[in-house]
Structure 1
């Protein structure tokens, strides 16, 4: 599907109106707005669980190596987390992704930061990285390979990944509101 503002908006609309994904988006929005801050371990753990379940990040498959407590504690202990999240600090993704032991949490961290940035702060500074993005993004970016995306993930280079998305959207003159979030829906819904 060609990258156009119309196609991106249409795929976003389909996601928002779908029986399951639209309702899950509402749950995420309600939970994050009811509990926007990162000053309580239990609240952070609840938000992690909501994002995990609704986005199939499969945190439970790492249960022997990762606890919900430890992941919530990583986020709780990041200095000025809410201020940095509101400002779109890309380094937050890397900090979350690499500070829970041997597990690379790049995909989960990108989703956690994206949802909060969009739903709580009404900004669009983050792009989601996941398996569908890894498979489909190279179809739209000349010279980009799945291997390169894997390298960015394994080296915790969220800035390069996020800049790639921003550059692509600029190249296609996509300047709609929440263009990163809607582009994720475009990639995901059209290629799932």
Structure 2
């Protein structure tokens, strides 16, 4: 029985090389199974989920390209009214939200992905970060066309909406989800988040090359017993940074296909790294430190 368990074990654990998961057929199949049965994803992936309709996925699925009609609506007036309602009674803001799909999508993405727009401003109840982000998105000319084209400068324009915080992660996710669902384009944008950026040098090293990887990490306490590797990918959170970030992920994806004859999507790339490394700084550090042997 124990040998049978050992044989089965490989099917429900990630295949690791050098201490971290690679893009193998086994890992891709495991990843898809994990996502299928993860309740955290069901809200935005399962149309039968009771909360799907009010999520960004439900709204975008229902509206598709008509979602972009918000540019002709007076969203700012509605949102100001909603802000007043929230201040008076947090439970009486549904009318405002129902009238403005853009606000609901921004709010849902922020809530589900914990990108903290709601924490901006002097009062959480005013949802100042969301209001400013919605205003910025409304002001963007040719948004639909630029999103279809995968214009990387959109991420910066949205990320810089709030003066006190550069919301790079939220902006990338907004572009990904809207282009994927409303425009049915899965190859226009890729997600930036802290988990992915923290281990990205590992995958640059494996699938692009050592010299390229060294551009995206630093060694702290080099030459000492407590030497450690730190990702510097977060330095790309700037005006021109998203294009470089997406380009390097494109090179990794091409490297996976060239070396292992496996085609992966942006979504699979993001999910693999996030699923394995989320919530474990120890896993991240141990994996990154494997780069020390080549430095």
TM-score normalised by the shorter chain: which range applies? Answer: 0.7 to 0.9
Equivalences for residues 36-185 of structure 1 within 5 A: 36=64, 37-40=67-70, 41=75, 42-64=100-122, 66-123=128-185, 124-142=187-205, 143=213, 144-145=216-217, 147-173=231-257, 174-176=262-264, 179-185=265-271
Secondary structure of residue in 2 paired with 1:39 = helix
TM-score, normalised relative to structure 1: 0.88
Q: Matches of 1:73 and 1:117 in 2, distance apart?
A: 19
Structure with the bigger percentage of strand? 2
Match of 1:32 in 2: 60
Runs of 4+ in 1 over 6 A off after TM superposition: none
Structure 1: which 5+ runs fail to align? none
Q: Deviations over 1:82-136 (max 9, x none)?
A: 1211222221111111233231011000000001111122222211111111222
C-alpha RMSD over aligned residues:
2.1
Q: Matches of 2:254 and 2:122 in 1, distance apart?
A: 42
Structure 2: which 5+ runs fail to align? 1-20, 47-51, 76-99, 206-212, 218-229, 279-295
Q: Which has the larger radius of gyration?
A: 2
Q: Matches of 2:24 and 2:179 in 1, distance apart?
A: 24
**Relative CO higher for 1 or 2, CA cutoff 8 Å, sep ≥ 6?**
1
CA contact (8 A) 1:74 1:96 kept: yes
TM-score, normalised relative to structure 2: 0.59
Match of 2:275 in 1: 189
